[in-house]
Amino acid sequence: MAGRSRVCLGQIGAPHGVGGAVRLRSFTSDPQAIAGYGPLETEDGRILAIESLRPAGNHFIAKLSGIGDRNAAQRLSNVKLYVPRERLPEPAAPDEYYHADLIGLAAVDLAGKNLGTVVAIHNFGAGDLIELQPAGGGDTELVPFNEASVPAVDVAAARIVLDVPIRPRPKG
């Protein structure tokens, strides 16, 4: 159920205290807005609601429904939290989109030649990267997701334009 059907809004961190509170990282443009999207879903389908949320440095301390002690909170460490894509508002401007909307789009070069398909968007701390499955097969490629490498994104046309060399590699 990943890709276009759900959007990751946050990730649970370590427990906070003994009463079941957790550290929570929000990925929403307004970080505190994560509490306003209603119940959140884990990758395995559990439903969790945020009962309370308070800022704590670069994260939040959250109390989640049904999590009453430190052991239960510990079992949620590193769990990602999702909402169905249809629960999110549509992007306000033509050049805005959700990363989840890019999964499955065709990637083409400046001349329109098919380079492959977007399979994921990652951020390992130094900016967004597009993971691309090359059209010729082989291992996926990571492409910086910036204006120089990706001069155009057209969700309506189901494609992105890349200005980088993509070299298919043999599998293995």
Per-residue pLDDT of the chain (172 residues; tens, 9 = 90+): 344 478 889 999 999 999 999 999 998 888 999 999 999 999 999 999 999 999 998 999 999 999 999 999 999 999 999 999 888 888 888 778 888 889 999 999 999 999 999 999 887 777 889 999 999 888 999 999 999 999 999 988 999 999 987 665 555 5
- Predicted local distance difference test score (pLDDT) of residue 164: 84
The CA distance from 90 to 130, in Å, is: 22
- Predicted local distance difference test score (pLDDT) of residue 56: 94
Q: How far is CA 39 from the centre of its chain?
A: 17
- Predicted local distance difference test score (pLDDT) of residue 9: 92
| Residue of 166, 30, 169 lying closest to 88 (CA atoms) | 30
* Torsion angle (degrees, nearest 10) of CA 13, 18, 31, 119: 20
Give the gyration radius of the chain's Cα atoms.
19
Q: Which domains, ranges and CATH numbers included, belong to the chain?
A: 3-87 (2.40.30.60), 99-161 (2.30.30.240)
DSSP 1-18: --GGGEEEEEEEEEEETT
Q: Which residues contact 56 (CB under 8 A, 6 or more apart)?
A: 16, 23
- Predicted local distance difference test score (pLDDT) of residue 94: 74
